[in-house]
Structure 1
Amino acid sequence: MPQRPRPGPPLRVRLPSLNPGVVDFLEDEAGSAVFLLVATVVALVWANSPWAAAYETLWSTPAGVFVGGFGLELDLHHWVNDLAMAVFFLVVGLEISREATSGELRDRRTVAVPALGALGGMVVPALVYLAFTAGTEAAHGWGIVMSTDTAFLIGILALFGPACPDRLRLFLLTLAIVDDIGAITVMAVFYTDSVDLAALGLAALVIVAVLVMRWMRVWRLAPYVAAGLVLWVAVQASGVHPTLAGVLLGLLVPARPSAREHVDVVARYADHLAQDTTADREHLTELAARAAVPANERLQRMLHPWSAYVVVPVFGLANAGVRLDAEALSQAARSPVTLGIIVALVVGDAVGIFGASTLAIRLGLGDLPGRVRYGHLLGGAVLAGIGFTIALFITELAFDDAALREQAKIGVLAGSLAAAVLGTLLLRLLGQRLPLCSPESDTPPPLPPLPWRNA
């Protein structure tokens, strides 16, 4: 399928084999990393300033939505973690569904190496963490070290990685997607305390309704969005963490490419519009164009910038405010939680991802893509130890004790920073010796800007 132009400045040179949707996803994630980093620094400075009390007061402020005698009230911290992060996980679900339907996850050999690498990157860090905390209350936090932060991973690779790292990015993105599936499953199964069966039954009915809409080939987004809101309320009331509603909806929104006849009809409507530019014909042409694009892709295009540039940074601002005074750092230095998380993220992820990926290649289950070499794989595996967003998220679910949460967050911050620095150094060193760029003759010319951009 030919690449479609999109609004924006002329595109940078990229490998022609990359799907435009994947390129868009990578670019948003790279930009999101900058915003997330700024939000994290602001949270840390704020929480350790003379105005630290205001930080706690802000996120504990109650807010609610009420209609008659019915309503829902949460503090701002939980609105961010429960509702806003449901949008983040919805985008993750949409990306998983799209890649499984028409992207890299369709090809068994392409996905085998990063998928097994992701499995190693979940199991080995969890075992390392348990080695530090076995037999203690802190052992319940083993899920904290299982996830890679896609935004930071792709962002750092874009800023500091080797030249033209497109195939390495795609490999790590596939790994992060499979990793997200594992982390979401862990949250749903191991970090749910109690379940309300009536609310869970309502959630099941909503899922059936979405499946019926899929079967009826409903292409408008409004019915899916409405179903998603009801699903979120039902899952929130059930006791299961409501972010699971976002994942489920993302996986269910239709992602299959439209039939050829649905695409061809757009040109006929466009011809009618060119003959007589009336509002009615413009509206029909717009509807035909929307119907020709999968609902999954349209919803992701609408939500991904909000998730990348608003939801994730606000989550970092709300959750990264950790005390870093002498007492807190002293306790963290002796805490098996902090030490376990740091070692798991820096060493466990590198060993698990590199070891499992290498095993998959040796067994002939798949290959490294393009010009990616074992050295790049090692650098990427170390960089994948950045476990920030979902790690902080699971920290909130795993520990009720404030001291354990604080020690875990310090471990996540320190371990992620160490993995980022070590991974960057490795990739920068390797980038000088092992270029990832394809020959210039294989690269397409940049697309021209759309005519109204400079008007």
Structure 2
Amino acid sequence: MPSDNRATTALPVGPGPTTRLRSSRRPISPRTTEFLSKESGSAGLLLAATVIALVWANLPDGSYFSFWHTEVVLQVGSWSTEMDLQHIINDAAMAIFFLVVGLEISREVSVGDLRDRSTVVIPVLGALGGLILPALIYLAFQPTGPEAAGWGIPISTDTAFLLGILALFGPRCPDQIRLFLLTLAIVDDIGAITVLAVFYTDDVSFTALAVVVVAVAVLAVMRWAGVWRLRPYILVGLVLWAAVYESGLHPTLAGVLLGVLIPTAAVEPEQQIRVRVYGRLVMQRADARRARLAATAVRATVPANERLQDALHPVSALVVVPLFGLANAGVLLNADALSAAASSSVTIGIIVALVVGNGIGISVAAGFALKLGLGRLPGQVRYGHLIGGAVLAGIGFTISLFITDLAFTDPGLRQDAKIGVLAGSAIAAILGSLLLRYLGERLPLCSVDDIDNPPSLPDGPWLDPTGR
């Protein structure tokens, strides 16, 4: 009886004979896996919030729009400011979302999976293609007039929806492609944040901007000095947020700056000695002072970046982002609104830019880099899976809706743009999922050996005490 060699011969281990498309099989660190899991879990809540917003916005009483435009006034002495509920979510609460983004960018670049140039080059260049081509496609539909300001809307990829859809409909062994798309989304976030800061800023107050510079300098000095306590960073961060808000820049940029500047490096080894010393003291005689010292010593062993991300990421993923969807995804979908959107160059431009621009821009840029041998795909990811993931990256929800409110002041343009974002993101999600499932069945992402016997993790600082 002939032996069964399917596990070793039936499934290809590479995309073709060329060695330029070879794959890296470096395992994903547990911290990155945890981040992926939380972002995937956020997608369900964000989808539910979007559906609720759409149903609520189309009720005949108009309560959705009146509720989110309720004014809230904050007054301290002679100073006062007012924002409606929607802007409280967009300007204040979303700073937490951007803070988590900044923390993850800093961690990945410093100590995470973005340190490996060979696997970072491809998603970085792919992300650049996904930033440039969608903007150009949109401008081709609307090159002039106030509508042209919406060119930044289709350049962003929604990380939560992207990873959530991939978890539900992706290939059987998705971790490596999830890492690839997470890297692409992080670079995409950097580009979108830069666009926010440079192109979607109103009049600038140079006095407030000077305070921003001083606050950033203080944070940089604290990082350089090795300050490991979170409280000083948070206090300076609040000052930074207020200064950015008063400067005319969008206040959520304060979250990104704070996240990038909070230290990611491990603290000094002597902190672990303090843990043992204070732990023994607590075991000998437990009292409040010894317990406080022991708890402080334990916290000091974990980088400030990781501690703050651990505290804020669930809040961002499970509270802030769904609230943002609830406050911003509501749009009229009656016959008149849909008819206007169907003939609107804003709506059509956004849909085409999200789906076609990201799909082609990412695939072509990444493929060009692969052909030149500038990098390699992670794990057993093939170019076919990259194409499916590129189309899926056209899901541009959170930051796309965010930029919509900054780009347009006309309610009609905002409505057309939001319909375009919702429609384009839905098309990208469905088409990208189908491509990944089709390619996953006919061109398996992992070999049988990879699924049954995943590569063991090498010893390293990311291993927890249980060895997981």
Query: What TM-score do you get using the length of structure 2 for normalisation?
Result: 0.89
Rounded to whole Å, the distance in 2 between the matches of 1:271 and 1:372 is 49
Rounded to whole Å, the distance in 1 between the matches of 2:175 and 2:277 is 37
Question: What corresponds to 1:7 in structure 2?
Answer: none
How many residue pairs were aligned? 434
- What letter is aligned with 2:262? V
Question: What corresponds to 2:453 in structure 1?
Answer: 441
- What letter is aligned with 2:137? V
Is structure 2 residue 424 aligned with structure 1 residue 415?
Answer: yes
Q: CA deviation at 1:295?
A: 0.6
List structure 1 runs of 4+ shifted beyond 4 angstroms: 447-450
State the secondary structure of the residue aligned to 1:400. coil
**Which residue of 252, 268, 276 corresponds with 1:267?**
276
Q: CA deviation at 1:21?
A: 1.4
Distance 1:356 1:263, change over 3 A: farther
Q: CA deviation at 1:280?
A: 2.7
**Which residue of 180, 194, 197 corresponds with 1:185?**
194
Rounded to whole Å, the distance in 2 between the matches of 1:405 and 1:37 is 20
- What letter is aligned with 1:49? L
Distance 1:353 1:448, change over 3 A: closer
Rounded to whole Å, the distance in 2 between the matches of 1:63 and 1:108 is 48
- What letter is aligned with 2:134? P
Q: Could you list the per-position Cα deviations for residues 292-349 of structure 1 after superposition, in whole angstroms to 9, with x for gaps in the alignment?
A: 1111110111111010011101111111110011111111111111000001111110
Question: What corresponds to 1:49 in structure 2?
Answer: 59
**Which residue of 221, 230, 246 corresponds with 1:221?**
230
Is structure 2 residue 102 aligned with structure 1 residue 93?
Answer: yes
2:388–2:433: 8 Å Cα contact kept in structure 1?
A: yes
Distance 1:236 1:274, change over 3 A: same
Seq. identity, %: 61
Q: Could you list the per-position Cα deviations for residues 205-245 of structure 1 after superposition, in whole angstroms to 9, with x for gaps in the alignment?
A: 11111122212221111111111111111110111111111
Is structure 2 residue 245 aligned with structure 1 residue 236?
Answer: yes
Question: Which residues of 2 match residues 118-137 of structure 1 at below 5 A?
Answer: 118-137=127-146
1:59–1:76: 8 Å Cα contact kept in structure 2?
A: yes
Q: CA deviation at 1:267?
A: 3.3
- What letter is aligned with 1:213? M
Rounded to whole Å, the distance in 1 between the matches of 2:83 and 2:440 is 48
1:120–1:355: 8 Å Cα contact kept in structure 2?
A: yes
Question: Which residues of 2 match residues 79-158 of structure 1 at below 5 A?
Answer: 79-158=88-167
**Which residue of 37, 42, 46 corresponds with 1:27?**
37
Q: CA deviation at 1:448?
A: 12
Moved more, 196-205 or 257-266: 257-266
**Which residue of 354, 360, 363 corresponds with 1:351?**
360
Question: Which residues of 2 match residues 277-356 of structure 1 at below 5 A?
Answer: 277-356=286-365
Q: Could you list the per-position Cα deviations for residues 371-407 of structure 1 after superposition, in whole angstroms to 9, with x for gaps in the alignment?
A: 1011110110010000000000000000111111110
Q: CA deviation at 1:439?
A: 4.2
Question: Which residues of 2 match residues 386-405 of structure 1 at below 5 A?
Answer: 386-405=395-414
Q: CA deviation at 1:110?
A: 1.7
Question: What corresponds to 1:11 in structure 2?
Answer: none
Rounded to whole Å, the distance in 2 between the matches of 1:154 and 1:55 is 29
2:26–2:378: 8 Å Cα contact kept in structure 1?
A: no
State the secondary structure of the residue aligned to 1:17. coil
Rounded to whole Å, the distance in 2 between the matches of 1:174 and 1:273 is 43
State the secondary structure of the residue aligned to 2:378. coil
Distance 1:449 1:224, change over 3 A: closer
Question: What corresponds to 2:12 in structure 1?
Answer: none
Rounded to whole Å, the distance in 2 between the matches of 1:396 and 1:248 is 22
- What letter is aligned with 1:401? D
Rounded to whole Å, the distance in 1 between the matches of 2:376 and 2:269 is 33
**Which residue of 36, 39, 50 corresponds with 2:49?**
39
- What letter is aligned with 2:227? V
- What letter is aligned with 1:46? W
Moved more, 213-222 or 328-337: 213-222
- What letter is aligned with 1:223? P
Rounded to whole Å, the distance in 2 between the matches of 1:371 and 1:443 is 12
Moved more, 202-211 or 161-170: 202-211
Rounded to whole Å, the distance in 2 between the matches of 1:20 and 1:110 is 18
Moved more, 376-385 or 216-225: 216-225
State the secondary structure of the residue aligned to 2:433. helix
- What letter is aligned with 2:32? V
- What letter is aligned with 2:123? P
Distance 1:118 1:189, change over 3 A: same
Q: CA deviation at 1:57?
A: 1.0
Moved more, 204-213 or 108-117: 204-213
Q: CA deviation at 1:270?
A: 2.7
State the secondary structure of the residue aligned to 1:162. coil
- What letter is aligned with 1:302? A
1:16–1:444: 8 Å Cα contact kept in structure 2?
A: no
Rounded to whole Å, the distance in 1 between the matches of 2:270 and 2:171 is 43
Unpaired runs of 5+ in structure 1?
A: 1-14, 451-455
Query: What TM-score do you get using the length of structure 1 for normalisation?
Result: 0.92
